[in-house]
């Protein structure tokens, strides 16, 4: 191996190290530590359906993906008294909602919460969900790798499903 080649490898290695360090500090700066971790569930495409005045419940939809086995243990928001995971099922030709005590995600699984199917139900809304506003959910997951992790998700409120 000649000297030039050794130097090239050295610079390549150094370049990689610098890139990793930059990526790590960027994550800290934006506070996206939980979402960017590779061993944590991630949430994308979250939105809530705007509600009419007097309506006491609201629905939130999103896609949850997890690289590891995980369980959605708890969901909290200041917008409602409580949040439940609901599944839809046919019963004698009628669609009914059923509470899922704790949503389980297999390693590598993606779960879609979408209109007509699973959703998060906000029970006891403190005020109507107004289109254009944002609500915040705090989602606590337990995973196979880590005891418990919390994800804070900003949920835009809309009248229709995003395209």
Please report how close the Cβ of residue 100 comes to Cu ion at its closest, in angstroms: 10
Residue 6 Cα distances to 9, 12, 15, 18, 131, angstroms: 5, 10, 14, 19, 60
Among 40, 46, 75, 86, binds Cu ion (CB under 5 A): 86
Residue 142's beta-bridge partner residues? Answer: 71
Show the CA angle centred on residue 140, arms to residues 63 and 121, nearest 5°. 55
- List the x/- string, 44-83, binding to Cu ion by CB under 5 A: ----------------------------------------
Beta carbon nearer to Cu ion, 89 or 144: 89
Report residue 5 as tokens.
């080649």
Please report how close the Cβ of residue 74 comes to Cu ion at its closest, in angstroms: 17
| Binding of residue 123 to Cu ion (CB under 5 A) | no
Please report how close the Cβ of residue 121 comes to Cu ion at its closest, in angstroms: 4
What count of residues does the chain have? 163
* Residue whose pair of structure tokens reads 């109507």 in the numeric block: 128
* Under 8 Å between Cβ of 23 and 15: no
Beta carbon nearer to Cu ion, 34 or 121: 121
Please report how close the Cβ of residue 27 comes to Cu ion at its closest, in angstroms: 34
| Binding of residue 97 to Cu ion (CB under 5 A) | yes
| Binding of residue 121 to Cu ion (CB under 5 A) | yes
Which H helix or E strand runs over 121?
Answer: strand 119-125
Interface ranges with Cu ion (CB under 5 A)? 86, 97, 121
């Amino acid at each position: 191996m000649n000297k030039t080649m050794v130097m090239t490898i050295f610079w390549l290695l150094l370049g990689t190290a610098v890139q990793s360090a930059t990526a790590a500090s960027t994550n800290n700066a934006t506070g996206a530590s939980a979402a960017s971790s590779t061993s944590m569930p991630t949430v994308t495409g979250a939105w809530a359906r705007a509600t009419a005045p007097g309506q006491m419940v609201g629905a939130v939809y999103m896609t949850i993906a997890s690289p590891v086995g995980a369980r959605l243990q708890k969901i909290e928001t200041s917008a409602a008294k409580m949040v439940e995971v609901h599944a839809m099922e046919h019963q004698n030709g009628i669609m009914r909602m059923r509470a899922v005590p704790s949503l389980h995600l297999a390693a590598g699984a993606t779960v879609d919460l979408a209109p007509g199917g699973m959703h998060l139900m906000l029970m006891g809304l403190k005020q109507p969900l107004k289109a254009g506003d944002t609500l915040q959910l705090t989602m606590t997951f337990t995973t196979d790798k880590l005891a418990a992790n919390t994800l804070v998700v900003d949920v835009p409120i809309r009248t229709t499903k995003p395209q």
